[in-house]
Amino acid sequence: MAEAAVREQVERKENPMRRLRIEKVVVNCSVGEAGARLERAVKILEQLTGQKPSIRKAKKTIKGFGIHKGEPIAAMVTLRKEKAVEFLRRAFEAVRNTIRAENFDEYGNFAFGVKEHLDMPGTKYDPELGIIGFDVIVHISRPGLRVTRRRIRRSRIPRGHRPTKEEAIEFVRSTFGVNVV
């Protein structure tokens, strides 16, 4: 049984279209209100990622939380390629290289939260900015995903080409040395 699994991994490594990769990493910080707290969150995200965050507005009014439709309530950054991998390594260190298996979805994407941005390596406390937490969402794919997203000659990719939860867990373990519990 173990030999078959090893042989299957060797076959997959030979085919470049079967290799998994980090498509993008989205860093989201939801503050819940506009104003000074959101501005501080934007500055902190910019320091952590090296990119200017995008401001997100509320889609609907929720009176219980005091949120009104169209009000800016969050900031997010999308990282790709080397920046995404570099940030992800630091984010894994912030959560002590441990993720729960429940954080993965059926297509191999996963998300986790960092309670305080000060847990990220190389980050120092600034009393003017305070402390925020944020979510990290990771999209894992294989080459060829563009076929489903492009505008001309859009097509579907077969189910067997989509990453599975188990493949993504193994990819994260082997690439980043993360313990998945």
Flag whether pLDDT at 39 surpasses 70. Answer: yes
Confidence of residue 122 (pLDDT cuts 50, 70, 90): confident
Give the DSSP letter of residue 104.
B
When pLDDT is averaged across residues 165-171 and rounded to a whole number, the result is: 93
pLDDT-derived band at 117 (thresholds 50, 70, 90) equals: confident
Q: According to the model, what pLDDT value does residue 42 have?
A: 93
The pLDDT tens digits of the residues spanning 40-50 come to 999 999 999 99
Higher pLDDT, 79 or 10: 79
pLDDT of residue 8 exceeding 80: no
Q: What is the pTM of this model?
A: 0.84
According to DSSP, the residues that pair with 26 across neighbouring strands are 78, 137
Q: Residue 146: CB partners within 8 Å, gap ≥ 6?
A: none
- Do residues 46 and 52 lie in contact, with contact meaning Cβ atoms separated by under 8 Å? yes
What is the overall mean pLDDT for the chain? 89
- Name the more confident of 13 and 160: 160
* All domains of the chain in start order, with CATH: 16-28+77-180 (3.30.1440.10)
Higher pLDDT, 4 or 93: 93
Identify the H or E element spanning 22: strand 21-30
Q: Can you tell me which residue has the tokens 């507005």?
A: 57
